[in-house]
A = this chain, B = another copy of it.
Amino acid sequence: MFYTDGKLQYPVRVETPDPLFARALQQAIGGVEGEIRVAMQYFFQACGARGNPKFRDLLMNTAAEELGHIEMLATAVALNLEGAPLSVKESVAADPVGGAVLGGLNLKNLLSAGLSAMPVDSDGVPFDMSHIYASGNIAADMTANVMAESTGRVLAVRLYNMTNDPGMKDMLSFLIARDTMHQNQWMAAIEELGGASGAFPIPNSFPQEQENQEFNYSFLGFQADGSDPVPGRWSEGASIDGKGQFKPMRMTEALGEKPVLGPAKPNSGAQSEQM
């Protein structure tokens, strides 16, 4: 259950409204690397967490944090749209050389939302909840969270570098810091779950003797000229999970045959020639 105080988790200040930057910020709200994604991902992972209850608590706690980040960013979008033009005439007035301002604005922020934020990305594509990874496997969930915070911090850094507005830079330096913490937080959770050698391969509950023993630590090459694939840490030495030895293997021909499906069934809507 959630409570609110209606305030912003961290101050949001815009000195010079910039409609194009509003558009960029939308990516941090409704992009696949954005805050809706992490808020809802941690929320659903918490709801489905089985086993040690501390992971549920950890996840729901951070879900609450991320909800506040959406709120901050939505406010930042609206503030950056303050003063945005509502018409071509206004646009030209605001930018005597071009009239590009109205073009730079995401029109939907104006037409659908009246100069407010929307749950869409920087191209106006609505966020799609299939991006919420909550697998029922707590370690797999944590890898999804490390990934989410990694791409999230990459995005936040790009936004930080894009703007000159001191208020926006301040807000983003907070969000970048939180992404630093969250990358570490979820890696710490993986450590609690056994780290590389204890948690991997995920799921660790599957008896590895049932997996094909010839291919589970082989680095397969699919080079057309039959050469070895590019070597690296992945092609020699102990595997990262400590349970095998990496070795390269050239796949110069298929292990299976050309598949034959047999004729189409009568009445199946195929052509007569297929039956």
Contact = CB atoms under 8 A, between A and B. Distances in A.
B118 A121 contact: no
Interface string A30-73: 11110010001001100111111110111011111101101110
Contact of A48 (B53, B78, B88): B78
**This protein's copies in its complex:** 6
A93 interface: no
Interface string A129-142: 11111111111100
Contact of A147 (B32, B133, B160, B240): B133
A256 B217 contact: no
Interface residues of A, number: 194
A159 B111 contact: yes
Contacts of A160: 206, 210
Contacts of A21: 88
A15 interface: no
A138 B270 contact: yes
A136 B115 contact: yes
A114 B261 CA distance: 12
Contacts of A120: 123, 129-130
B257 A8 contact: yes
B117 A133 contact: no
Interface string A88-122: 11000001011110111011101111111111111
